[in-house]
């Protein structure tokens, strides 16, 4: 009798367990089905963002590095300083060359004044001899004419020298501007606010022009979700999106569909598939959908490019 009672209790227990499991399965099944009518989601989605590569515009030895990995920096903040000694010397040399050019133009201008005065004097003498042609010899007249021609030619030559000197001053000014510009490049500033990543520079190391030193990741993030082409029927720009972050399961962010790429992901790959040759197997293609995240700045700072997310686009209202 006791065994039969225990057997009945065991049966009732398992009936309750299976009934509860069936109810829960039905509940979640209905919930999943209802969600599938309202939302389109995918787990093939990732956080994207701008990555600003920082590289020097002049070569030299690194004097100081003012930031560390993952440090938050502000736009205009000093990041790296290259030894400016060589470029300061170039600036000094350019300034000296400019001063020499200015001194030369002053001398040329003085020569122009003297040549002009001499040309006027000889021209006056020539007119005087021409007016007194009966009282002067032909030799004197010829000498006066030759002196006037020589003075005029000298005046013309000095004016040309002045033009050359002016060109040298312009060239020296340009060289000085270039030297000062290169000197300013020895200090590298943050072009945008963001976090420092991929830092590969240390004090004392030699860097060349264009060499990657570090990167700045601005806080502006978005999602690129690769939806199946069969899911795009009702997806439109402006639709509301719920974004689940794999790294932070408790976090739910809001967003909206920004745009749909004009082409599948495979079409823009390095080696696009060639379907006109060989046997063809149809594969469902995926199309990138850009989703703009609408979140607070402190929430955006927790995100990083490459993080996996699960966006759910609301394509219909609840029935």
- pLDDT recorded at residue 125: 56
pLDDT value of residue 84: 94
- Given this model, what pLDDT does residue 224 score? 95
pLDDT at residue 282, as a whole number:
79
Q: Annotate 82-144 with DSSP letters as a single string.
A: E--HHHHHHHHHHHHHHHHHHHHHHHHHHHHHHHHHHHHHHHHHHHHHHHTTTTS-HHHHHHH
User: What secondary structure letter does DSSP report for 266?
Assistant: G
Mean pLDDT by 10 residues, the chain (319 residues): 55 67 63 64 92 94 94 94 93 83 65 61 60 58 59 63 68 85 94 92 94 93 93 91 91 92 80 67 88 85 90 79
The pTM (predicted TM-score) of the whole model is: 0.69
The predicted pLDDT at position 157 comes to 63
Q: Which residues are registered as beta bridge partners of 308?
A: 46
Looking at residue 200, its pLDDT comes to 92
CB 201 within 8 A of CB 130: no
Which pLDDT belongs to residue 98?
A: 74
234 within 8 A of 40, measured Cβ to Cβ: yes
- What pLDDT score was predicted for residue 187? 95
| Residues contacting 165, CB < 8 A, separation 6+ | 101, 104, 105, 108
Strand runs labelled E in 148-245 = 187-189, 194-197, 206-207, 214-217, 221-228, 240-245
Phi, psi of 249 (to 5 degrees): -60, -25
In the block, which residue shows the tokens 């030559």?
157
Q: Give the Cα separation of 89 and 206 in Å (integer).
A: 19
């Amino acid at each position: 009798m006791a065994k039969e009672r225990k057997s009945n209790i065991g049966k009732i227990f398992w009936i309750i367990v299976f009934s509860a499991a069936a109810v829960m399965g039905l509940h979640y099944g209905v919930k999943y089905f209802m969600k599938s009518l309202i939302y389109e989601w995918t787990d093939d989605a990732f956080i994207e963002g701008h990555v600003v590569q920082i590289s020097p515009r002049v070569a030299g030895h690194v004097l100081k590095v003012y930031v560390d990995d993952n440090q938050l920096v502000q736009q205009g903040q000093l990041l790296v300083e290259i030894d400016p000694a060589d470029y300061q010397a170039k600036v000094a040399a350019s300034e000296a060359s400019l001063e020499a050019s200015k001194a030369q133009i002053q001398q040329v201008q003085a020569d122009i004044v003297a040549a002009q005065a001499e040309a006027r004097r000889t021209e006056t003498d020539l007119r005087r001899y021409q007016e007194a042609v009966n009282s002067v010899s032909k030799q004197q007249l010829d000498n006066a004419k030759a002196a006037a021609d020589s003075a005029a030619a000298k005046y013309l030559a000095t004016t040309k020298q002045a033009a050359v000197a002016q060109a040298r001053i312009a060239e020296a000014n340009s060289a000085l501007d270039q030297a000062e510009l290169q000197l300013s490049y020895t200090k590298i500033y943050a072009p945008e606010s963001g976090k420092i990543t991929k830092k590969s520079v240390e004090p004392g190391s030699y860097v060349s022009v264009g060499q990657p030193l570090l990167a700045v990741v601005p806080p502006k993030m978005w999602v690129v979700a690769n939806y199946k082409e069969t899911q795009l029927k009702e997806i439109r720009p402006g639709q509301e999106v719920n974004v689940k972050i794999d790294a932070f399961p408790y976090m739910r962010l809001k967003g909206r569909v920004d745009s749909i790429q004009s082409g599948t992901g495979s079409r823009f790959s390095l080696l696009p598939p060639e379907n006109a040759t060989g046997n063809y197997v149809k594969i469902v293609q995926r199309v990138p959908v850009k989703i703009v995240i609408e979140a607070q700045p402190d929430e955006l700072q927790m995100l990083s490019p490459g993080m996996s997310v699960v966006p759910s686009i609301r394509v219909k209202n609840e029935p």
